[in-house]
Amino acid sequence: MSASIANSQQPPRREIDVSALPKTVFGSGQSILWWGTMGMVVIEGTFFALLLASYFYLRTRVTDWPPAQTVPSLNFGTINIAIAVLSLIPNYLAKKAGSSFNLAGCRLWLTIMSLISIVCLFLRWFEFSSLNCMWYDNAYASVTWTILGMHTVHLITDGFDTWILNIMMFTGPIQGKRFMDVSENALYWNFVVLAWIPIYLVLYWAPRWL
Amino acid sequence: MSSQPQREMNSESLEPRPRTPMSDAEARNWLQRTWDDGKGFTSWFQQVHHTVIGRRYIITAFCFFLLGGLLAALMRIQLSHPENHFLSPDFYNQVFTMHGSTMMFLFAVPVMEAFGIYMIPLMMGTRNIAFPRLNAYSWYLYVCGGIMLYVAFVLNTGPDVGWFAYPPLSGPDFSPGKRADFWAQMITFTEVAALAVAVEIITTIFKLRAVGMSLNRIPLFGWAMLIHSFMVIFAMPAVALDSSMLLMDRLISTHFFNPAEGGDALLYQHVFWFFGHPEVYIIFVPAMGIVSEIIATFSRRPVFGYPALVLALVANGFVGFGLWVHHMFATGLPMMGYSFFTAASLMIAIPSAVQIFCWIATLWTGRINWKTPLIFVIGFFAIFVLGGLTGVMLASVPLDTQVHDTYFVVAHFHYVLIGGALFPLFGGIYYWFPKITGRMLSEKLGLWHFWLFFIGFNLTFFPMHILGLKGMPRRVYTYLPQNGWGTMNFIATVGALFMTAGVLFWLYNIWTSYRRGPLAGDNPWGASSLEWATNSPPPIYNFDELPTVNSRTPLWTATAENPVIRGLRIDDREVLITRVLDAEPDHINSFPKPSPWPFWSAMATTALFVGSIFNGYALYIGAIPLAFTLTMWFWPKKHEIALEEAEGVRR
Ligand SMILES: [Cu+2]
Distance CA B406, CA B470 (A): 9
Per-residue burial over B3-34, b = 16 or more CB atoms within 10 Å of its CB, e = otherwise: eeebebeeeeeeeeeebeeeeeeebbebbeeb
Give the pLDDT mean for A200-205. Answer: 94
SS3 B611: helix
For residue B470, report the distance from its CA to the centre of ligand 1, in Å.
23
Residues of A in contact with B237 (CB under 8 A): 43-44, 46-47, 50
The number of beta carbons lying within 10 Å of the beta carbon of residue A51 is 20
The number of beta carbons lying within 10 Å of the beta carbon of residue B223 is 23
- B541 and chain A: CB distance < 8 Å anywhere? no
DSSP B165: T
SS (H, E, C) B62-103: HHHHHHHHHHHHHHHHHHCCCCCCCCCHHHHHHHHHHHHHHH
- A89 and chain B: CB distance < 8 Å anywhere? no
- B41 and chain A: CB distance < 8 Å anywhere? no
SS3 B151: helix
The CA distances from residue B487 to B71, B242, B464, B495, in Å, are 22, 40, 11, 12
Is the distance from CB of B327 to CB of B391 less than 8 angstroms? no
What percent of chain A clears pLDDT 90, i.e. is strictly above it?
Answer: 71
Q: Kindly report the CA angle at B359 between B353 and B362, in degrees rounded to 5? A: 145
Is the distance from CB of B115 to CB of B432 less than 8 angstroms? yes
Q: Which of A1, A43, A173 sits opposite B641 (nearest CB)?
A: A173
Which among B115, B114, B178, B122 is positioned nearest to B143, based on CA atoms?
B114
In A, minimum Cα distance to B533 occurs at A4
Using omega within 30 degrees of 0 as the cis cutoff, is the peptide bond preceding A12 cis?
Answer: yes
* Pairing between β-strand A15-17 and β-strand B574-578 as defined by DSSP bridges: unpaired
In A, minimum Cα distance to B195 occurs at A43
Q: Which domains does chain A have, with CATH numbers?
A: 49-60+71-209 (1.20.120.80)
- B253 and chain A: CB distance < 8 Å anywhere? yes
In A, minimum Cα distance to B644 occurs at A175
pLDDT of residue A10: 54
Distance CA B383, CA B455 (A): 11
Which among A128, A118, A31 is positioned nearest to B580, based on CA atoms?
A31
Distance CA B343, CA B346 (A): 5
Cβ of B264 within 8 Å of Cβ of A58? The answer is: yes
- B259 and chain A: CB distance < 8 Å anywhere? yes
SS3 B590: strand
Helices of type H across chain A = 32-59, 75-86, 88-99, 103-129, 139-171, 176-200, 206-209
Is the distance from CB of B327 to CB of B341 less than 8 angstroms? no
Is the distance from CB of A155 to CB of A120 less than 8 angstroms? yes
Which among B385, B398, B391, B382 is positioned nearest to B413, based on CA atoms?
B391
Distance CA B497, CA B507 (A): 15
The CA distances from residue B126 to A149, B109, B110, B221, in Å, are 41, 24, 22, 16
Distance from CA of B5 to the nearest CA of A (A): 6
Which among B199, B181, B202 is positioned nearest to B191, based on CA atoms?
B199
Cβ of A15 within 8 Å of Cβ of B565? The answer is: yes
The CA distances from residue B514 to B64, B162, B233, B509, B539, in Å, are 20, 37, 36, 8, 18
Distance CA B140, CA A180 (A): 28
- Region for residue B372 given its phi and psi (left: phi exceeds 0; alpha: psi -120 to 50; beta: otherwise): alpha
pLDDT of residue A8 exceeding 50, the answer is no
Which stretches of chain B drop beneath a pLDDT of 70? 1-14
For residue B114, report the distance from its CA to the centre of ligand 1, in Å.
24
- B145 and chain A: CB distance < 8 Å anywhere? no
Which among B323, B321, B332 is positioned nearest to B266, based on CA atoms?
B332
Q: Which of B264, B522, B636 sits opposite A3 (nearest CB)?
A: B522
pLDDT of residue A5 exceeding 70, the answer is no
CB pairs under 8 A between A and B: 252
Which residue type sits at B136? A
Is the distance from CB of A178 to CB of A185 less than 8 angstroms? no
Which among A147, A158, A133 is positioned nearest to A197, based on CA atoms?
A147
HSE of B410 in the Cβ direction (CA atoms, 13 Å)?
Answer: 27
Q: Which of A14, A23, A67 sits opposite B8 (nearest CB)?
A: A23
Distance CA A122, CA B545 (A): 54
Distance CA B517, CA B500 (A): 23
Is the distance from CB of B559 to CB of B539 less than 8 angstroms? no
Burial of B176 (0-12, 13-18, 19+ CB in 10 A): exposed
Cβ of A4 within 8 Å of Cβ of B1? The answer is: no
pLDDT of residue B335: 73
Is the distance from CB of B66 to CB of B510 less than 8 angstroms? no
Q: Which of B5, B258, B554 sits opposite A139 (nearest CB)?
A: B258
The model's pLDDT over B453-511, given as tens digits with 9 standing for 90+, comes to 999 999 999 999 999 999 999 999 999 999 999 999 999 999 999 999 999 999 999 99
The model's pLDDT over A33-64, given as tens digits with 9 standing for 90+, comes to 999 999 999 999 999 999 999 999 999 998 88
The number of beta carbons lying within 10 Å of the beta carbon of residue B518 is 12
Distance CA B193, CA B135 (A): 8
Distance CA B171, CA B167 (A): 5
Residues of B in contact with A163 (CB under 8 A): none
Return the sign of the alpha-carbon dihedral for residues B316, B322, B326, B327. positive
Which among A82, A44, A72, A65 is positioned nearest to A188, based on CA atoms?
A44
Cβ of B556 within 8 Å of Cβ of A1? The answer is: yes
The DSSP H or E segment spanning B586 is strand B585-590
pLDDT of residue A6: 47
The CA distances from residue B121 to A39, B209, B313, B412, in Å, are 18, 8, 20, 35
For residue B157, report the distance from its CA to the centre of ligand 1, in Å.
29
The number of beta carbons lying within 10 Å of the beta carbon of residue B247 is 20
Distance from CA of A16 to the nearest CA of B (A): 5
pLDDT of residue B128: 96
For residue B343, report the distance from its CA to the centre of ligand 1, in Å.
13
SS (H, E, C) B309-353: HHHHHHHHHHHHHHCHHHHCHHHCCCHHHHHHHHHHHHHCHHHHH
Distance CA B342, CA A40 (A): 33
Q: Kindly report the CA angle at B467 between B465 and B471, in degrees rounded to 5? A: 115
Q: What is the ipTM of this complex?
A: 0.92
Give the pLDDT mean for A111-119. Answer: 95
Cβ of A21 within 8 Å of Cβ of B16? The answer is: no
Rg for chain B, CA atoms, rounded: 25
Distant-in-sequence, close-in-space partners of B155: CB < 8 Å, separation ≥ 6: none
- B233 and chain A: CB distance < 8 Å anywhere? yes
Distance CA B423, CA B576 (A): 36
Distance from CA of B243 to the nearest CA of A (A): 13
How far is the first Cα of chain A from the last one, in angstroms, to the nearest whole number?
70
Which among B390, B397, B394 is positioned nearest to B415, based on CA atoms?
B390
Is the distance from CB of A176 to CB of B641 less than 8 angstroms? no
Q: Name all contacts of B11-14 with Cβ < 8 Å and 24+ positions apart.
A: B11/A21, B11/A22, B14/A20, B14/A21, B14/A22
What pLDDT band is residue A11 in, cutting at 50, 70 and 90?
low
Residues of B in contact with A125 (CB under 8 A): none
